Structure 1
Amino acid sequence: MTKQIFNNIPRNVWILGFVSLLTDVSSKMIESVLPLFLVSTLGVNLLTVGLIEGIAESTASILKVFSGALSDYFGQRKKLTVAGYGLSTLVKPLFALATSPAWVLMARFGDRVGKGIRVAPRDALVADATDKAHIGAAYGLRQSLDTIGAFTGPLAAFVLMSAGRENFRLVFWLALIPGILAVALLALGVQEPNSSVNRMQNNPLRWNTLRSLGRNYWGLVAVALLFNLGNSSDAFLLLKVRQAGVSNLFVPLTIFVINLTYSLSAYPVGLISDRIGRLRLLVGGFSLYALIYLGFAFSYTPWQVWGLCALYGLHQGMSKGILLALVADRVPSNLRGTAFGFINLATGAALLPASLLAGSLWESIGSEATFITGSLFAILAAALLLIIHRNEQ
């Protein structure tokens, strides 16, 4: 049965998954050690870490709307996707050359702009290539492959940090290699689906067009915004891990644990959602997040944070692909790029206030306040999802 379902996943989805895998190897090699590089090498404070992460994510997230809308208007998604992955790869040497926080900000901004350009067209490509009966499985598979890269990257960083005596810049330089391979695979391997030629005749960002996406879709956007107001940069997770007594050398391995459980859960959860529905699974994912963040607030030993990191990966497997599949379920095919753009805008725009709030709470009260606040936002988002579910019945 599983083999038959795998056979129903189109070639484009597999290739996009492997492109994401290689890109995440590259990105996570950098991200798993970047907060430590900022704090220990460049000497910045936690508020500056939050500011760098928040500005990069929130500013670049605006592009997700426009790139998604452009892919709908022109009926062309691949070119924008290639451009986005290419830009993210192009700026990676700036991390290795950084001598001040401003360099890191430029690098993070360029990387996130690239992500802003590629994400909505890429997510729409997955739905364009897949029949409705297997949408959840397709997004789950792409997320699983993506996440294999996301745990391989920190593992590679750990090996390089061990062999290179905590040489951050060596990690940053070598992270360029899988990024280049990802862009080459995307450019040569992905074909524009025939369904993509069904382009929009009008501007997808017109008010009447946006209204046609429907209340259920905009309800999901509100949920994504609310949840992510409490979902600050993962840099704070890494700093909490370090605070709990995990050494710099082993911090990247916590990202490995997170993404291992994420990878193992994303595809099975997507498959289950095709059979039993998605909303309740997403409520479960948000509720699990609330419990995990509450656990981080009161964890002070390495074994506690290792266990919570494993559960955090399970939350991601129950949430990220399911939210994308819910969007694909609710919008017409010629507006998918625009719809994914706005849901990603909500997610990205929330990160600046979320990261600034997290950094401020940590500095003024302590790490407990940062994680308790994140837990409360997740509870509110789960409650709003339940209200949406009740109104749909």
Structure 2
Amino acid sequence: MTKTAEAGAAPARGARAVPRSVWALGFVSMFMDISSEMVHALLPIYMVAVLGTSVLAVGLIEGIAEATASIVKVFSGALSDRIGKRKLLAVVGYGLGALTKPVFPLAGALEWLVGARFVDRIGKGIRGAPRDALVADVTPPALRGAAYGLRQTLDTIGAFTGPLLAMGLMWWTANNYRLVFWLAVIPAFVAVAVLVFCVREPTLPAAARPPKLPLRRSELVRLGAPYWRVVGIGLVFTLARFSEAFLILRAEPAGLAPMWAPAVLVVMGLAYALSAYPAGVLSDRRPRLDVLLVGLALLVAADLVLAFAPGLVGLGVGVALWGLHMGFTQGLFNALIADSAPAELRGTAFGVFHLLTGLALLLASVIAGALWDAVGFQGTFVCGAVLAALTAAGLLVLRRKA
């Protein structure tokens, strides 16, 4: 494994021991998420209530957008392995995301919004795998759970700050969607500036880079059986969840006014942010699969509450449980990938993982939207609970064999 100035020291404990570049990447994610969620917290409602789009179409658009990002990730991850320049690709990806933000307030039709959403997700795809691999490049193995948890926490602070700002600005501007979308442009460009000036990238020796195209079959075989087991777990898990847009849409049957719908993402993001770092630290000290099982149990509970608990209290509890399940799973999967993949193929490993789970998310979101339109929100969340429970059962079998 390549050692860097940041990763070569003896492992320490606590957030202060996490390398500075990981902190900087966390703040980059935070500012970009503030920008993105200011837009995305309002976009599903804007599309359904203002533009007359169906819920199934929202699910299809969200799923395809995320799948597009996942497809791009596999190529950007492989390219970052080949050229050894992860930060460059991250700058391109975040820069592209920032440049799409002015399109949302300027768009006059659904086609423009969908186009901007896709280009934004392409930017996410370009930056995702190189950024995740860069975190592993600069972090000692004993701190990987904490590092990914910390980055995820800062990312999630942005994820709930954005909807909170959107909600306040909607009140202040008397539901002026376009003005809120314009203000979302500012933190996107702040994110790019932090990435350019504050993140240090270690230089990987030429010998550590794959000599051939990383996506060749011979290179993918080198990823090894432990890596592919993690991918299999991630695939089944992703089928059990779907786009957070459905949490926003769940707010209306619970009696929440459209102006306050972004509060759903605020509650989810707060629970996510509070749990991601502690879960990451816990996974450095306990078997990661045990922590993942806790996350699956939280997802089952969230789905059941959202399906059957009435009113705003049920909505709040279900969304909070959903956020906790995210905290106990998302950073953990990144740590599992970093643990199982060879250092010189980390970008490829993250890219392949994101590609396959993104396709699974597309399928999950389409199924969720179809069930919602056919039988209501209860069918969507009950289906999610059943799939999550089956995933947990399979993981228990795998854990016993291991």
**1:164-183 correspondence runs (5 A):** 164-183=173-192
Aligned counterpart, 2:121:
112
Cα deviation for residue 309 of structure 1 reads: 1.3
Cα deviation for residue 97 of structure 1 reads: 2.1
Q: Could you tell me which of 196, 199, 219 is aligned with 1:187?
A: 196
Aligned counterpart, 1:56:
65
SS for the counterpart of 1:231 is coil
SS for the counterpart of 1:306 is helix
SS for the counterpart of 1:201 is coil
Matched-pair contact (CA < 8 Å) for 1:289–1:378: yes
1:94-153 Cα shifts (integer Å, max 9, x gaps): 221223221221011011111111110000000000011111110111011111111111
How many residues in Structure 1 have an aligned counterpart in Structure 2?
A: 391
Q: Aligned letter for 2:152?
A: Q
Matched-pair contact (CA < 8 Å) for 1:219–1:388: no
Distance 2:18 2:200 in 1: 15
Q: Aligned letter for 1:42?
A: L
Q: TM-score, normalised by structure 1?
A: 0.96
Q: Could you tell me which of 334, 345, 360 is aligned with 2:344?
A: 334
Matched-pair contact (CA < 8 Å) for 1:62–1:345: yes
> 1:33/1:196 Cα in 2 relative to 1: closer, same or farther (>3 Å)?
farther
Matched-pair contact (CA < 8 Å) for 2:238–2:364: yes
Matched-pair contact (CA < 8 Å) for 2:238–2:361: yes
Aligned counterpart, 1:74:
83
Distance 1:100 1:384 in 2: 45
Q: Could you tell me which of 105, 108, 111 is aligned with 1:99?
A: 108
| 1:381 is aligned to 2:391 | yes
Distance 1:261 1:196 in 2: 40
Matched-pair contact (CA < 8 Å) for 1:75–1:200: no
Cα deviation for residue 4 of structure 1 reads: 5.0
| 1:155 is aligned to 2:155 | no
Distance 2:243 2:272 in 1: 17
Aligned counterpart, 2:50:
41
Aligned counterpart, 1:274:
284
Cα deviation for residue 59 of structure 1 reads: 2.4
The range that moved more, 243-252 or 14-23, is 243-252
Q: Could you tell me which of 110, 124, 133 is aligned with 2:133?
A: 124
Q: Aligned letter for 2:55?
A: L
Distance 1:364 1:233 in 2: 18
Distance 1:385 1:214 in 2: 19
| 1:312 is aligned to 2:322 | yes
Aligned counterpart, 1:322:
332
Distance 1:251 1:115 in 2: 25
Q: Aligned letter for 2:399?
A: H
Matched-pair contact (CA < 8 Å) for 2:13–2:143: no
Distance 1:119 1:373 in 2: 29
| CA RMSD, Structure 1 to Structure 2 (Å) | 1.5
> 1:63/1:171 Cα in 2 relative to 1: closer, same or farther (>3 Å)?
same
Q: Could you tell me which of 38, 55, 60 is aligned with 1:29?
A: 38
Distance 1:126 1:15 in 2: 10
Aligned counterpart, 2:144:
135
Q: Aligned letter for 1:380?
A: L
Aligned counterpart, 2:238:
228
Distance 1:327 1:12 in 2: 20
Q: Could you tell me which of 279, 301, 304 is aligned with 1:291?
A: 301
Q: Could you tell me which of 16, 23, 30 is aligned with 1:7?
A: 16
Distance 2:154 2:134 in 1: 16
Matched-pair contact (CA < 8 Å) for 1:244–1:299: no
The range that moved more, 37-46 or 203-212, is 203-212
Matched-pair contact (CA < 8 Å) for 2:144–2:284: yes
The range that moved more, 10-19 or 355-364, is 355-364
- Give aligned-pair identity as a percent: 51
Matched-pair contact (CA < 8 Å) for 2:256–2:312: yes
1:36-66 Cα shifts (integer Å, max 9, x gaps): 1001111111111112111211123111111
Q: Could you tell me which of 233, 245, 249 is aligned with 1:239?
A: 249
Distance 1:222 1:101 in 2: 36
Cα deviation for residue 385 of structure 1 reads: 2.3
Q: Aligned letter for 1:144?
A: T
Q: Aligned letter for 2:214?
A: P
Matched-pair contact (CA < 8 Å) for 2:41–2:166: yes
Distance 2:299 2:261 in 1: 21
The range that moved more, 74-83 or 200-209, is 200-209
Distance 1:112 1:257 in 2: 24
| 1:261 is aligned to 2:279 | no
Aligned counterpart, 1:20:
29
| 1:360 is aligned to 2:376 | no
Matched-pair contact (CA < 8 Å) for 2:301–2:318: no
The range that moved more, 374-383 or 46-55, is 374-383
Cα deviation for residue 380 of structure 1 reads: 2.2
1:64-111 Cα shifts (integer Å, max 9, x gaps): 111111111111100111111111111112221223221221011011
Q: Could you tell me which of 202, 219, 223 is aligned with 2:212?
A: 202
Matched-pair contact (CA < 8 Å) for 1:150–1:256: yes
Unaligned runs of 5+ in 1: none
Cα deviation for residue 327 of structure 1 reads: 0.9
Matched-pair contact (CA < 8 Å) for 1:269–1:317: yes
1:336-374 Cα shifts (integer Å, max 9, x gaps): 111111111122112222121111111111111111111
Matched-pair contact (CA < 8 Å) for 2:146–2:277: yes
Distance 2:252 2:92 in 1: 36
Structure 1 residue ranges (4+ consecutive) displaced by more than 6 angstroms after TM superposition: none
Cα deviation for residue 196 of structure 1 reads: 6.8
Q: TM-score, normalised by structure 2?
A: 0.94
